[in-house]
Structure 1
């Protein structure tokens, strides 16, 4: 098993993004359940894991069994991000309750499609009505290749839908999650499959009636593929769909260059920063978010088969959270400057 490389203390940061003002809501909602884990290749890392007693067991090459104690909930969504300096991705395989625990299986691959062990960060969340007012907008889908919904949630009570298009493409609509537009908030997408697949956000549009997202998925050869997938949308709320708590969260869209200010948010009012760290490498800083345990998820964005992950685990220079680095690759595993979405979320 590989360990995460130690990180240096000297950081070069280009602060070139805008931020939106933050106003605490009068009321807040918590999801039914949420849990996350940071696995360094040999052990869970306390600062990136909740519940603290979460366990990870390896299976066949690239297969992991995650047990989130006391977090059992039906259905819900899973997201996972590989952490490796070499080109890797991870995807969900299956998940569900086992007694009071939530058990999640994930699979990881290296470029070319061979199963391979790697560090990772994984996240589980489930929400259900009745909806309680939250500060922002939140929704998710777990969809079959046909567009049939395995699970779905919309913080405004709208009926989400998934419509298949050409092979490997789906139009996802989150009605009633209206925002000013033309593009607001952030997204995370993850393939759900027993065979190698990965998903990303091709594009999305925001307006007063809701969100429309085009999701694309690829196989290990970079060809479009029909697969089950999960997609989560957040706007001025955490990736769990709650606002206060947790009150420490942020997100950013690297288009590149950066997306509009409405896609770059920090709940403390800080200005998230991003700077180049080499071809396909991006160094990011999220001010005032160094509250642990916390989780980071990354999803590639754009119409090609490129994919993104983390070069190493995020770390904390209080009061800031630093991600060194997001890394992105072509299907063949060559570093490339490309688009991605990143979401940073504390438990508290």
Structure 2
């Protein structure tokens, strides 16, 4: 079993580094593929998983191998969120196509950096030109610590860029994704590493020239760290960049307090209609009206200038017609509950 895991991880690291060529279909449209999974600690959950035949296999402590059948695509991005009442986080380890399948490795840790098994949600998405017409804006980067791009996409057809600013800090520019400003849409950020690391959105600005996002990453001690990371931007479109499907999606930024209406969007009920209530220190109950269409996925990313992190303490649930996240839970690096900023994105397959 150990040798099998080692061979699989080596293959995917080679794929991620570009050692194995992969050519996107010439007719590929946005998105080429997307897939997601909800793992409850012992099994996949159908309401949070697509394709339905997706499998999760545990390996060394805290490591999971996810196989998304038929979802193989060029490069793309992975995001993942731990689900636990005890402070944990999850990060991407590596991913790549294996035959017709997309295989993703996810690593999870408890506060302090000890590898540990935990329920989680994860998703994969890959896009390439020609760009499909969408009502909003969408873009992503998969960046090395140097700022070199492993993969990128921009629905306006522009080229994204990543510039290192300091240890553990990068400026990500997504030109052409013009919005009214000063801050619009939503973001998800995930560390990509074989050692403990997590990433968050430090701040961002929006305007006629596009999006400027500052990403910060931290190690298990809470110190800034240089690491590979993924970042996805959405504005009035799904986290997969598709229009129809999926047409059921929503996002919200807790600044704190709530961000501007332009960072709170629901594809059914419109701007400013998703709700948030405090459920205790570091606990937040969120309601997304009319989005209870499954299968769906929820992703959470912390936002702010420190090393605090946010996840979910239980899986989201559906109280038709609404989707309810009970709760987002946030912690200091030491694992103490804390009220801090975060971004939440809810997205259905349909």
TM-score with structure 1 length normalisation?
0.91
Structure 1 match to 2:295: 293
Structure 2 match to 1:9: none
Determine the C-alpha separation between the residues in 2 that align with 1:128 and 1:167. 31
Determine the C-alpha separation between the residues in 2 that align with 1:30 and 1:74. 12
Query: What pairs with 1:146-225 in structure 2 (closer than 5 Å)?
Result: 146-225=146-225
Which of 275, 282, 285 is matched with 1:283 structurally? 285
Write out the 4+ residue segments of structure 1 that deviate beyond 4 Å after TM superposition.
none
Q: 1:143 and 2:143 equivalent? A: yes
Structure 2 match to 1:19: none
More helix by share: 2
Offset of 1:133 from its aligned partner? 1.5
Paired residues of 2:202 and 2:214 also in contact (CA < 8 A): yes
Determine the C-alpha separation between the residues in 1 that align with 2:343 and 2:283. 14
Determine the C-alpha separation between the residues in 1 that align with 2:205 and 2:76. 24
Give secondary structure in 1 for the equivalent of 2:102: strand
Offset of 1:342 from its aligned partner? 0.2
Q: Say which is worse superposed, 127-136 or 54-63, in terms of deviation.
A: 127-136
Determine the C-alpha separation between the residues in 1 that align with 2:84 and 2:243. 31
Determine the C-alpha separation between the residues in 2 that align with 1:170 and 1:289. 34
Give secondary structure in 2 for the equivalent of 1:52: coil
Map Cα deviations across residues 139-194 of structure 1 (whole Å, 9 max, x no partner). Answer: 00000000000000000011100000110000000000000000000000000000
Structure 2 match to 1:21: none
Determine the C-alpha separation between the residues in 2 that align with 1:263 and 1:158. 23
Offset of 1:30 from its aligned partner? 4.2
Map Cα deviations across residues 226-274 of structure 1 (whole Å, 9 max, x no partner). Answer: 0000000000000000112111000000001000000000000151100
Q: How much is the aligned-residue C-alpha RMSD, in angstroms?
A: 0.6
Map Cα deviations across residues 96-144 of structure 1 (whole Å, 9 max, x no partner). Answer: 0000000000000000000000000000000000112210000000000
Give secondary structure in 2 for the equivalent of 1:262: helix
Structure 2 match to 1:68: 68
Structure 1 match to 2:103: 103
Offset of 1:323 from its aligned partner? 0.4
Determine the C-alpha separation between the residues in 2 that align with 1:30 and 1:41. 32
Determine the C-alpha separation between the residues in 2 that align with 1:116 and 1:131. 40
Give secondary structure in 1 for the equivalent of 2:115: coil
Determine the C-alpha separation between the residues in 2 that align with 1:338 and 1:36. 27
Q: 1:316 and 2:318 equivalent? A: yes
Determine the C-alpha separation between the residues in 2 that align with 1:64 and 1:324. 24
Structure 2 match to 1:6: none
Q: 1:327 and 2:295 equivalent? A: no
Map Cα deviations across residues 180-233 of structure 1 (whole Å, 9 max, x no partner). Answer: 000000000000000000000000000011000000000000000000000000
Offset of 1:36 from its aligned partner? 0.0
**Higher normalized contact order (CA 8 Å, seq sep 6+, divided by chain length):** 1
Paired residues of 2:30 and 2:128 also in contact (CA < 8 A): no
Structure 1 match to 2:339: 337
Q: Say which is worse superposed, 129-138 or 82-91, in terms of deviation.
A: 129-138
Tell me how many residue pairs correspond in the alignment: 320
